[in-house]
């Protein structure tokens, strides 16, 4: 028994010495390695707190926060599962994020969730979804003064508040800051109810927010619903080939929903597939959130530029609506707030607009109009991402 105890103490001592030597090696490489890891664990804890206490995109922020803590445990690399480039998280990352598989599969689930009925019954709402993408190109111009073009393009797409598209573009362009870009895209998506209302109120008058829009619930035939995803995919493939795969997966999910013969698959895509991929996506994206790669001055710049893109996208939609109102008679004017729903944050943005409409006038129901713009923004953001990607790849000669 005494020999077993001595053997255990010897092994325990070796482990303790190994811990001290590991810390010593990290300190020799970087005097701030341990404090940086502590900061990253705190950031992971903050993401978990926001997910649980504030209900901010919990399905993604919670696994992302936990993954951030996991990849910043300095001694866990010895276990093999976190070994950079070789461990389980990195294997998942290379299998699902680096090759864009997870974002594309997630788009099937998103497509199955979207009802394009409101926009099909009122097609003119599509113009607001397109107008709300202005912030992407504005931020591309601003970011190109600070970052190389491939990084500027990856950062600009944050403005659409479209996480899968942001990840897709960033990985296609081999961005060094995919962790920061992903956090920014999903954080601003979660912060829609916080960021959008003050921007809208600042740039609209109460009289404009009170504008009522009559909703005529036109029925949309099943044939139209089935043809819509097919036609959109074909048009996107011609106009923006780089967006064809993104639009294709999104519209495939919607076709499963609308065809009427694959209800079980539609339900699986909306719930099981979307939830499973979201979990895997969150924890594997954290592979890029280690202290060495994330804690840089550039990360703060990316978060700031992403916020600018998000605000300009929000403003672009309703400023375009205000411009159109200059030429429209009374009774035909748009409530400019619906233009703010043109970002891709579905359905949060349309709910925010509806709530603001009720605050201005408790009989002002804008939900269906805002939803039509919101789903248009989902499609427009993907096409904008494809256009941006094509421009960047051609400019870089890739």
Are residues 185 and 178 in contact, defined by beta-carbon separation less than 8 angstroms? Answer: no
Contacts of 204 (CB under 8 A, 6+ apart): 318, 322, 336, 337
pLDDT on residue 9: 46
Residue 186 tokens read as: 């999903």
**Residue 140: which H helix or E strand, with range?**
helix 134-143
Are residues 160 and 184 in contact, defined by beta-carbon separation less than 8 angstroms? Answer: no
Q: What DSSP designation does 262 have? A: -
Inter-CA distances, 355 with 120, 125, 162, 288, 351, Å: 23, 19, 22, 37, 6
Backbone angles phi, psi at 326, to 5 degrees: -60, -25
Cis preceding-peptide flag for 347 (omega within 30 of 0): yes
pLDDT on residue 28: 43
- Over the stretch 82-123, which tens digit does the pLDDT of each residue have? 555 567 777 888 888 777 788 889 889 988 998 888 888 888
Are residues 361 and 213 in contact, defined by beta-carbon separation less than 8 angstroms? Answer: no
Number of other CB atoms surrounding residue 190 within 10 Å: 23
Percentage, residues of the chain above pLDDT 70: 87
Residue 203 tokens read as: 């740039």
Give the C-alpha separation, 189 to 278, whole Å.
15
The helix, strand and coil proportions of the chain, stated in percent and rounded to the nearest 5, come to 75, 0, 25
Contacts of 211 (CB under 8 A, 6+ apart): 333, 334, 335, 336, 364
Alpha helices in 210-344 (DSSP H): 222-239, 244-258, 263-268, 274-285, 291-294, 297-325
Q: Is 241 helix (H, G, I), strand (E, B) or coil?
A: helix
Chain centroid to CA 236: 21
Residue 24 tokens read as: 């010593």
pLDDT on residue 76: 54
Query: Crossing angle, helix 178-190 and helix 163-172, to 10 degrees?
Result: 170
Inter-CA distances, 283 with 24, 198, 267, 340, Å: 29, 32, 24, 31
Inter-CA distances, 342 with 104, 128, 193, 214, Å: 21, 6, 14, 19
pLDDT on residue 181: 84
Residue 375 tokens read as: 């789903």
Are residues 377 and 125 in contact, defined by beta-carbon separation less than 8 angstroms? Answer: no
Query: What are the DSSP calls for 172-214, one per residue?
Result: HTT-TTHHHHHHHHHHHHHTHHHHHHHHHHHHS-HHHHT----
Q: Which residues of the chain are modeled with pLDDT < 50?
A: 6, 8-9, 12-13, 16-28, 31, 77-81
pLDDT on residue 75: 57
Residue 74 tokens read as: 């300095």
pLDDT on residue 11: 58
Q: Which of 119, 158, 128, 159 is nearest to 375 (CA)?
A: 119
pTM: 0.80
Most distant pair of Cα atoms in the chain: their distance: 95
Q: Which of 336, 344, 326 is nearest to 364 (CA)?
A: 336
Give the C-alpha separation, 46 to 41, whole Å.
9
């Amino acid at each position: 028994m005494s020999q077993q105890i001595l053997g255990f103490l010897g092994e325990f001592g070796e482990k303790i010495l190994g811990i001290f030597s590991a810390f010593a090696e990290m300190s020799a490489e970087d005097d701030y390695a341990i404090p940086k890891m502590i900061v990253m664990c705190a950031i992971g804890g903050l993401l978990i707190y926001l997910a649980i206490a504030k209900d901010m995109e919990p399905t993604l922020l919670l696994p992302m926060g936990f993954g951030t803590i996991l990849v910043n445990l300095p001694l866990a690399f010895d276990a093999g599962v976190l070994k950079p480039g070789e461990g389980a998280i990195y294997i998942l990352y290379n299998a699902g994020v680096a090759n864009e598989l997870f974002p594309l599969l997630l788009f099937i689930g998103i497509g199955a969730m979207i009802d394009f009925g409101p926009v099909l019954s009122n097609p003119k709402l599509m113009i607001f979804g397109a107008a709300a993408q202005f912030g992407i190109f504005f931020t591309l111009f601003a970011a190109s003064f600070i970052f190389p073009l491939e990084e500027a393009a990856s950062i600009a797409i944050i403005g659409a508040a479209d996480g899968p598209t942001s990840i897709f573009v960033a990985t296609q362009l081999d961005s060094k800051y995919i962790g920061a870009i992903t956090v920014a895209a999903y954080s601003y998506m979660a912060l829609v109810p916080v960021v959008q209302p003050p921007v809208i109120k600042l740039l609209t008058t109460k009289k404009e927010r009170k504008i009522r829009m009559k909703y005529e619930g036109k029925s949309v035939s099943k044939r139209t619903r089935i043809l819509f995803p097919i036609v959109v995919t074909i048009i996107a493939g011609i106009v923006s080939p780089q967006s064809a795969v993104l639009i294709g997966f999104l519209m495939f999910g919607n076709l499963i929903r609308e065809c009427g013969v694959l209800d079980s698959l539609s339900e699986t895509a909306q719930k099981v597939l979307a939830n499973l991929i979201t979990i895997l996506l969150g924890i594997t994206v954290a592979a890029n959130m280690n202290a060495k790669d994330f804690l840089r001055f550039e990360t703060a710049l990316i978060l700031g530029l992403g916020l600018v893109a998000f605000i300009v996208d929000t403003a672009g939609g309703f400023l375009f609506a205000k411009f159109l109102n200059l030429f429209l008679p009374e009774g035909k004017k748009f409530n400019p707030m619906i233009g703010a729903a043109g970002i891709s944050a579905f359905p949060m943005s349309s709910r925010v607009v509806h709530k603001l409409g009720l605050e201005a006038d408790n009989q002002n129901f804008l939900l269906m109009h805002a939803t039509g713009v919101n789903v248009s923004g989902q499609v427009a953001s993907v096409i904008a991402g494809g256009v941006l990607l094509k421009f960047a790849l051609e400019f870089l000669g890739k």
